[in-house]
Structure 1
Amino acid sequence: MSKRQQYLRKLYQVSHERISVRPKDFKKKMNELDGSESSILEYDGLLGKIKDGYSQWKASLSSSQWEKETQSFSVRFAFDTNKTQRELSLAATKRLLREGKAPKGRPFWQWGITPLQDLGEAEAQLELFTEILRSKNDLSLQTILRWHDKIFSATKPSIAGKIRKHQSTISGSRFTPPSPLELSALMRDLFAWYKTSKGKIHPVELAALMHLKLVSAHPFVDGNGRIARLAMNFILFRNGYPMFKIPYEWVDGYYRAIEESQVNNCQEAFLAWFARAYVIVNARYSTSELPKRSQKQK
């Protein structure tokens, strides 16, 4: 077995483990792959295999199977987002989305949001994923404002779809978001950068950088991470790559990488984390066993 085959097999094994990695073990698991590789471009060959395998897998599914897969992804995405905010369990997320049943004994959270109001936000996310998959429009400031409004209009109408007008802080972070006076120019520059960069840099790197730049600009009072992850997945899917849900078990490393990039004004910290995490989660698409698994799904 060649070194490359051994590497792919290791990635495959890691990606198929039950995702229950404790935050303190994340760095160790990342380093098990190849501590020298930190740039998305250094994963270019493997990312190409992932893209090809994902395309084959997607083509093997019927329309109903594909719909089921996207719904499953949306539920898990909502779970990981809510879990990051210490809100809903996976089972509770599924019940909210599929049955409209709220968990019992839930207290009110920030903003006084009730479990049934959570349902509205979760359902809006599900609809947005469907929109992302079908949309023919490109990513723009108007796009993310509409996404934000769709998610929060029922629960937080005073901030839904609106750029913040007050200084924001991030609890527990050393990073201070930009002044609201800077946001208009920052957002204009962000989407000008996207327009000129999308044909020049690797799509996975583009998705990662859009995510980082959005959470760093912190344009909204609430929901910045959620919108950033939607934009990231919009870019990935539009370019034929599998979408990426960041497992809650890895969230500490995710936030550390973001903060390190923000505080040191160096995007490489987040790009290194993103490249390895994305490859681990999606390595199953790069293996030779893919066609057999696809056949079983028919």
Structure 2
Amino acid sequence: MKTLLKEARELKNFKTREVAQLLGIDQALISKFESGTRKPTKDQVSKLAALLDIDYETIIISWLKEKIIHEIGNDEFALKALRAAEEEIRLNSSSTAKKVSTVLQQLLDEIDSFKAKLNLSKQIKNNSFTEALEIEYTYNTNSLEGNTLSLNETELVVNEGQTISGKSMREHLEAINHQEAIAFIKNKVESNTIFTEKELLSIHAIILRGILPKEAGHYRAVSITIKDRSFTPCEPASIPRELEALFNWYEMNKNLIHPIILAATIKQRILTIHPFINGNGKVSRLIMNFVLLQHGYLIANIKAENESRNRYFQSLKESISKENNDAFTLYLAQIEKESLENNIRTISQ
């Protein structure tokens, strides 16, 4: 891996101090990575790959290989252990790509058919439909959490900078912040950013900026209990580890599992980890939509009106409690299908 890093840096005409400054990593560490006397963390590997345009799969395989060799060395049972580990990983991978129900598969096939017709990769960036969808998304996601701004008021606050009489400063900030968070994830999609802990914390910081500054961009430090007891959030000390496992799972499965299933699964798992005191719902929906946009789909806009709201929370509860594993994925797929159909109608007019 040391050769891979050094050659990539030199190809970009960067000095080690420039890499250090850009990534916020000590220059001495960069030199040690390249000499092989120090191993980077996985987060550092991700940052280096993005900055130096190194294929993520190539560098992470090299990193894992060296990590494995470092751990097991020349132990006489090393090869047998590796073969046993390989078999277990294969089994875990096959169980991850779970069977999809007939109903869900038919819905996914319809979605992909619509997506192919639209050639979304070229159309969604500047489409007026998309701009309206983003405002509606901001309105609905805030309304789900108790914000009382109407759709029209949300648009005036976001696009015109108006102050709405009778509405709190917090409600204004929630609209402005969320719209900025959408711009943030779109920018990350366009720059092909690998989603890591840094992006997660950045989204949370944007969402709560000026609202709960002490919490913004920080994991919770206390244990909590969920009111309906459909799940038990992990303990604070486990949050970074659980999130790292989730991001690793995503990287392993992003080309194996349908993006709708990926997005639904990530949303559910972030919600069950519950990394923050406030903002878990908004952040998990934004990351869900980050995954959809990353794979060329439209933003999934969960409506705040009573029937849709009830279906949303009920489907989440059923999926998280394992009462019906596909409940939320089916709900999300139906929303995405409706968005695609609406976009088709808009373009054909």
TM-score (norm 1): 0.73
Please list, as runs of the form range in 1=range in 2, the aligned pairs for 1:211-250 lying within 5 A after superposition: 211-249=267-305, 250=308
Opposite residue 163 of structure 2, the aligned amino acid is A
Post-superposition Cα deviations, 1:68-126, rounded to whole Å, max 9, x if no partner, equal 4443222111101111122121112111102222322235xxxxx63443354244234
Larger RCO (alpha carbons 8 Å, 6+ apart): 1
1:13 alignment partner in structure 2: none
Q: Is the 8 A contact 2:289 2:300 kept in 1?
A: yes
| 2:82 is equivalent to residue 82 of structure 1 | no
Counterpart pick for 2:347 among 260, 284, 294: 294
The CA deviation at 1:227 is 1.3
| 2:226 is equivalent to residue 165 of structure 1 | no
The alpha-carbon distance between structure 1 residues 136 and 281, as it changes in their structure 2 partners (threshold 3 A), is: closer
Distance 2:117 2:303 in 1: 22
What 5-or-longer segments of structure 2 have no aligned partner?
Answer: 1-100
Q: Is the 8 A contact 2:267 2:287 kept in 1?
A: yes
Counterpart pick for 2:163 among 93, 102, 105: 102
The CA deviation at 1:195 is 0.9
69-78 or 183-192: bigger deviation: 69-78
Distance 1:119 1:43 in 2: 32
| 2:331 is equivalent to residue 267 of structure 1 | no
| 2:316 is equivalent to residue 276 of structure 1 | no
The CA deviation at 1:265 is 7.1
Distance 1:60 1:274 in 2: 22
| 2:264 is equivalent to residue 208 of structure 1 | yes
The CA deviation at 1:235 is 1.3
| 2:96 is equivalent to residue 43 of structure 1 | no
RMSD: 2.6
Distance 1:164 1:38 in 2: 38
Opposite residue 84 of structure 1, the aligned amino acid is L
Distance 1:116 1:52 in 2: 38
Distance 1:150 1:212 in 2: 21
Q: Is the 8 A contact 2:139 2:175 kept in 1?
A: no
Counterpart pick for 2:199 among 140, 143, 146: 143
Could you say what secondary structure the match of 1:187 adopts? helix
Opposite residue 226 of structure 1, the aligned amino acid is K
Please list, as runs of the form range in 1=range in 2, the aligned pairs for 1:16-95 lying within 5 A after superposition: 37-39=102-104, 41-55=105-119, 59=122, 65-66=126-127, 68-87=128-147, 88-95=149-156
What 5-or-longer segments of structure 1 have no aligned partner?
Answer: 1-35, 108-112
Distance 1:43 1:73 in 2: 22
The CA deviation at 1:186 is 1.1
Counterpart pick for 1:253 among 311, 323, 330: 311
